[in-house]
Structures are given as structure tokens and as C-alpha cells.
């Protein structure tokens, strides 16, 4: 049985604490790759990692551009694949726009993300600002 990877990233902005937090969650149970793509929100996720950033540092990185922001978000212990970090960066930028709640969720299903079908590939990740 080939396993798949379902991930969720919770991105939160706490202006009072001057802190941006990204929590990485994953489904740790075995799920068959032969299954049909499902709505990833319905799965049971476990926290696997958390990164915290200084808001001023992230705001400066956003002003420098998307590539610089991605470099700032990545570290030795937090290094999502390119397609994943681009969506995370998009979620961070939306939080700093100030027009929404200071929380967003990003979901990834590698069955969709790594599919050769462009339609599925483009729908493998989503940002939900709540």
C-alpha cells in the first residue's frame, strides 16, 4: 500500500504579541493512494511542527517581495516544497493586508498536488481565511 500525505498549515497573526505563527499538521495514519481525492478538512490531523516569526521581520520580507518572504519563512526545520510554500506565503500576505481575520488554513493533499493532471495539480492546495 502506497501512503499519501495530507497536511494542514494554520497561520495566525498576533499583532499584540508581535508574532506570526505557522503550525504544521499532518495525518499520521496510513491512507491508501488508490482512494478518491477527498475533502482534506474531514481528516484527523496531528501537530508536527510550529514556527514563530517576528511580525516586523515578516512585514519587511513582504515589502521586499514574495521570493524574499519565502526565504524568510523557510528554515532548517521548516522547509515545505515549493508549491506548498507559495500558497503559505500567499496566506501570510493576505493576513498582513489587514482586511480579514488574523487566521488562515492551508490544506495539501499530495494525491492532488503531485498528480500529472493539471486540473488536479492546480487544486491541490487551498487557502481558507476565517
Which stretches does DSSP call E strand in the chain?
A: 6-14, 19-26, 46-54, 103-109, 125-129
Percent with pLDDT over 70 in the chain: 68
pLDDT tops 60 at residue 105: yes
Does the pTM of the predicted model rise above 0.85? Answer: no
C-alpha cell at 107: 490544506
8 and 25 in contact (C-beta within 8 Å)?
yes
Q: pLDDT-derived band of residue 29, with 50, 70 and 90 as boundaries?
A: confident
Cα 106 from Cα 125, distance rounded (Å): 7
| Averaged pLDDT score across all residues of the chain | 80
At 1 the pLDDT is 46
Amino acid at each position: 500500500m502506497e501512503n499519501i500525505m495530507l497536511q494542514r498549515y494554520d497561520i495566525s497573526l498576533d499583532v499584540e504579541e508581535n508574532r506570526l505563527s505557522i503550525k504544521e499538521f499532518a495525518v499520521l495514519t496510513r491512507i491508501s493512494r488508490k482512494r478518491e481525492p477527498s475533502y482534506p478538512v474531514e481528516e484527523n490531523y496531528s501537530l508536527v511542527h510550529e514556527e514563530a516569526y517576528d511580525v516586523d521581520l515578516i512585514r519587511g520580507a513582504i515589502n521586499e517581495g514574495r521570493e524574499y518572504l519565502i526565504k524568510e519563512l523557510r528554515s532548517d526545520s521548516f522547509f515545505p516544497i515549493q508549491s506548498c510554500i507559495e500558497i503559505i506565503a500567499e496566506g501570510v500576505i493576505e493576513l498582513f493586508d489587514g482586511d480579514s481575520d488574523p487566521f488562515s488554513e492551508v490544506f495539501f493533499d499530495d494525491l492532488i498536488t503531485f498528480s500529472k493532471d493539471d486540473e488536479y495539480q492546480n487544486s491541490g492546495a487551498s487557502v481558507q481565511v476565517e
